[in-house]
Structure 1
Amino acid sequence: MKNKIYLSLLSVFFLTGCNSQAPIPEESNPEQNNEETEEQVTDDQAEDTETDEEITDENEENEENEEEITYQYKINPNTFSVEPIDEENSDEDEKLVLLTFDDAPYGNTMEIAEALEEKNVKALFFINGMYMEDEEGFETIQKVHDMGFEIGNHTHTHAKLDDYSQDDQLDEIVKTNDIIEEAIGERPRFFRAPHGIMTDYTKQVIEDENMTWMNWSFGYDWESEYQDSAALTDITLNTELLSDGSNILMHDREWTAEAVPEIVDGLIEQGFTIVDPKLIQNGTE
């Protein structure tokens, strides 16, 4: 009996000793868990703070870019010429001219844009949405916009709008605005109707889309006798229609692209200021 009691006591002592020496598993250490949790929270808070700071910096940069644009010019709604907004305080000796190119991106848009960029002047490219449906055309307009050129709407299929139903007129205009916005992140501010033909309904759509409609002062590059760079340069620089405020119409064509450098040089030599379209106020703004 004494032996049994003695053995029992030894067993209890042995088991108690094993339990007192067993290490506490790491995951069951509440103090260490709290420290790790606090470190994780601190890291997450730091990441959130950095993200918030990045968003704030980006928003401030966008606001600064918007504030930097001070509109200096407007389009005359009757003559479509470009004019100073503040005529009383404008330079009386300054002669203005606006360069516009229709039917882009037909195939020569980048060549025209690069020639203009080399001369350090800007222009307004009016887009037919159908030419942006392939990857090349889409990317061309992205690049031209990134170069600082203004992008306008010239309908989707170069439609003669008075031959179209109201639904089709709406589709021609809005569809092109949508694809332009997809490419450059903003909807166009200017619209030019093919053949210069507008309907009352078209005008309403343009207003609803917050665009300014413009035709042109003169243009020659679609006429067969001027489908040559030398002839086009000569008539553009020497026509009696060239005057202060002229809104010059050209197209995305090979002969036009070849003529652009000499046309720009000739206009500057005659004392014209080639207006940056981004400085032109949209009539709805």
Structure 2
Amino acid sequence: MEFFRIAAILLAFISLCSGCNVQTASNQEKQNGENKERIAEDSDQNKQEFESENDNKEIVEKQDDIELKEVVTEAVVSLQPTYELNAANWSIKPISGETNKKVVLLTIDDAPDRYSLKMAKTLKAAGVSAIFFVNGHFIQSDEKKAILKEIYDMGFAIGNHTMTHSNLNDLSEEEQFKEIVELNNQIELIIGERPRFYRAPFGSNTEYSKELAEKEGMLLMNWTYGYDWEKDYLSKDALTDIMVNTPYLTDGANLLMHDREWTYEALRGIVKGLQEKGYTIVDPNLIKTPK
């Protein structure tokens, strides 16, 4: 009898434990289900937040792009040509009567021989610009190519002065083509754009060179005056004086200088003297060209 009583107690205890285990498993399954739902909700929320961040990023990028385009457009508009070349005397004249006519244009030939970079830095420090007319034989080394690129990156206009500085009247049309177009090709590879200005060595053009300049979209120009190759003006003081006080200094004058030591030394004084006489140094980007 005692045996059956003990067996009944054990059976009741086992049933109770089994029920606990079933309930524990059920609770665990319920808890797991709740965790899965919470993870899914968190994932959806994170996805929505990520998509929202991407949408906001796209909006910001689009806005930045619009603002950049507006800045570029404003810059282009602000550099619309206000001057043009007077081919009768190679001076620069206003396109409209409202534009300042008391200006001069600075040009430097034979760049970048030895002093062009120093001259560019002098002009940059003075807050004025110029056209640097390039000879191809000066840009055949990596060092000179880098100098030309630096001058261009400083904001100066780059012009074509032929490959070898030969007199074009002594050359065949094929040779003239190489002198002019080959130089444009090389300059474009260095600075990323073709020259908009062209000046023949010695100011000596042919009908064919004029045609080439036109086809290449370059403004052909000579000069109003220049002195730094004459024996009386191969010093800083003499050159400064004549460039500022010459009777040829008139509104729109096109001033010719070269990559020379004495011209570099005189450059600051020339700019200062012209400004003291009331002249503004015109930005070449404001001159109308065929391009």
TM value normalised by structure 1:
0.78
Q: Which residue does 1:138 correspond to in 2?
A: 145
- Residues 51-90 of structure 1 mapped to structure 2, 5 A cutoff: 62-87=72-97, 89-90=98-99
Change (3 A) 1:201 1:55: farther
- Residues 221-260 of structure 1 mapped to structure 2, 5 A cutoff: 221-260=228-267
- Residues 121-200 of structure 1 mapped to structure 2, 5 A cutoff: 121-200=128-207
Q: Which residue does 1:215 correspond to in 2?
A: 222
The answer on 1:273 being equivalent to 2:280 is yes
Change (3 A) 1:248 1:68: same
Aligned residue for 2:262, secondary structure, equals: helix
The C-alpha deviation readout for 1:253-280, integer Å capped at 9, x for no partner, is 1100000000001001111111111111
Aligned mates of 2:70, 2:187 — CA distance in 1: 25
Change (3 A) 1:53 1:82: same
Offset at residue 183 of structure 1 (A): 1.6
Moved beyond 2 Å, runs of 4+: 44-68
Worse-matched range after superposition: 182-191 or 253-262: 182-191
Aligned mates of 2:212, 2:257 — CA distance in 1: 25
Aligned mates of 1:50, 1:137 — CA distance in 2: 42
Amino acid at match of 2:91: S
* Residues matched between the structures, number: 273
Structure showing greater Rg: 2
Amino acid at match of 2:143: E
Change (3 A) 1:158 1:58: farther
Aligned residue for 1:114, secondary structure, equals: helix
Offset at residue 61 of structure 1 (A): 5.5
Q: Which runs of 5+ in 2 are unaligned?
A: 1-53
- Residues 28-39 of structure 1 mapped to structure 2, 5 A cutoff: none
More helix by share: 2
Aligned mates of 2:113, 2:183 — CA distance in 1: 15
The answer as to whether partners of 2:82 and 2:99 remain within 8 angstroms in 1 is no
Q: Give identity over the alignment, percent.
A: 45
